[in-house]
Structure 1
Amino acid sequence: MTPNFREHRKLARMALRAKRGQMDVSALSKRASVLYGHLTEHELEELALVSLGQGESS
């Protein structure tokens, strides 16, 4: 199942909060694995940037 846009944006905001130290990374990882399966920290960061229009999209 592909996550919908709302879930994708929510995960992106969580990733940015975790990067700033405002959120526990383990909570973010659990949420991401529910939506996408296992992702590395780099993949989570890339997903957040692309989701918010700040990264490269392929």
Structure 2
Amino acid sequence: YVVYLIGCFWLNQQMRWTLGRYIVLALAGVVPVMSFILERRIHRQVEAELEAAVVVAPKS
């Protein structure tokens, strides 16, 4: 569980999310099966945010 919390903290810092989202991620590790459900949702959100953040440099 400690490794899970560290992973959640790292992800939270990298994505610059709020403390509330970190707490939800941490609680998902306590409730049985919730971590699997939340993992799919967070995975989609992270991919969407990273896709939107990609900046394409113009060709010179």
Q: Same fold (TM over 0.5)?
A: no
Taking structure 1 as the reference length, the TM-score comes to 0.37
Higher helix residue share: 2
Bigger-Rg structure (1/2): 2
Higher relative contact order at CA 8 Å, sep ≥6: structure 1 or structure 2?
1
